[in-house]
Amino acid sequence: MNLLIELLAFAVAIGVLVVVHEYGHYSVARLCGVKVLRFSIGFGKPLAQWVSPKTGTEWTIAALPLGGYVKMLDERESGPGSIPDADLPRAFNRQSVWRRFAIVAAGPVANFLLAIVLFALVFATGVTEPAAVIAAPAPNTPAALAGFEGGETIVGVRTGHSDETEPVRSWSDLRWKLLAAAFDQQRIVLNAKDAHGTSDFPMDLRAVGEKDVDDDLMSRLGFEPGGGKLTVAGVQAGSAAQKAGLVEGDRLRAINGTPADNAAAFIAYVKSHAGVPVTLRVERGGRGGHAAGALEDITIVPQLQRDAASGQQIGRIGAELATQVPSIDVRYGPLESLRLGARRTWDLAVYSVRMFGRMVVGEASLKNLSGPVTIADYAGKSARLGPSAFLSFLALVSISLGVLNLLPIPVLDGGHLLYYLVEAVTGKVVSDRWQLVFQRAGLACIVALSAIALFNDLARLIHF
């Protein structure tokens, strides 16, 4: 069933993104007076065809749904003398350089506009997200050095020398604001509240290099979601947890005096204390003969085990954890949703370009590239999480598709745009000979990138 959901979600995602991208080309071509011969969703053998009596465009759904194209009237493809004189003004190659530029750029622009609309829908309809409550930060991390102790709720951020504090409404909101500040290497002031009131926590992100701005940025800064409720969901027979007396339903309050409100931090602490006794503060859940609500300190020794993924020796207690994190319903008005949708799209586009640039110069791992298998996996997972998650996933992939197509690589939209810029500056069209050379080089780049992405997919799938 999960495989069916993944395949269906992947097909819907690719279908929507391809149609929007190609319709961008189609609509601007029509506005410029160019005759569109075919609008194809997919490649290969046509499964269904329909010719518009108004425009003469052939609409096609093909067998291989991994892409699509718009075929326009063009003398370079039809050959000299094969186009009636009456149709020559409607040929793509007869248009001015700026009209051709607009037609080609319209595809990626349509992807960005789609992302803005999708994010705006998510913001406007509302979404339940983890609250911006932080766990106790690891020692010597920027969060710890700023004075955070854990349990604070971050409510605002002030960047640079600005006197205006931007509100922080959720954990993802905090993450994007820190990501933007780290990219720009700014000083920031985080406004947070706890049981004692509201305080300012200055942080200097100027030392954070672009190579450090990745998916692990929050953890590297010392920020993990906190305020959660960790409960023992199960205990393995013969494990350290069972020997120490932990039972299903117990709530973990602290480990060696540090609040236990984040599963990842708790597990990391246990892993690093193999064979070393640790003290758990436990609130009894009323099972196993224990009075419900009673607090008890339990000493437990994590057992030394070999981690199958890393091959390292780590500590484990043999308890399954259930996490209940504090959440908040985030909803915005229509205009604010559009503004935030545009801002999120811009931030993600800039992040994608910078990440790709870092991979090119070797400052980021090529493992960050993902292919169709990973996209299908995330499509299925987001679809199971609900409409908001799936729409956000669509927006993210739409941005990635837009950025990819704008890269100055021949055979992509960005390569053609580069040709038109050269033509606009020099007044001369790039020769067919040079275009052929560049196209071969561009095709080699695309094949190499696709191979790396597919290899990464397989590596994630079979864990090698």
108 within 8 A of 115, measured Cβ to Cβ: no
Tokens of 248: 């299903």
- Whose tokens are 């299908």? That residue is 376
C-alpha to C-alpha distance for 23 and 400, rounded to whole angstroms: 17
User: What distances in angstroms separate CA 297 from CA 10, 113, 288, 383, one per listed residue?
Assistant: 49, 56, 16, 42
Alpha-helical (H) ranges within 126-189 are: 142-146, 171-183
H or E segment and range at residue 351: helix 334-360
173 within 8 A of 132, measured Cβ to Cβ: yes
Tokens of 17: 């993104």
C-alpha to C-alpha distance for 83 and 435, rounded to whole angstroms: 23
User: Which of the following is catalytic: 6, 22, 152, 224?
Assistant: 22
Tokens of 72: 């326009």
Tokens of 336: 């604010």
C-alpha to C-alpha distance for 62 and 47, rounded to whole angstroms: 5
Q: 22 an active-site residue?
A: yes
C-alpha to C-alpha distance for 297 and 388, rounded to whole angstroms: 42
- Catalytic residue positions, numbered: 22
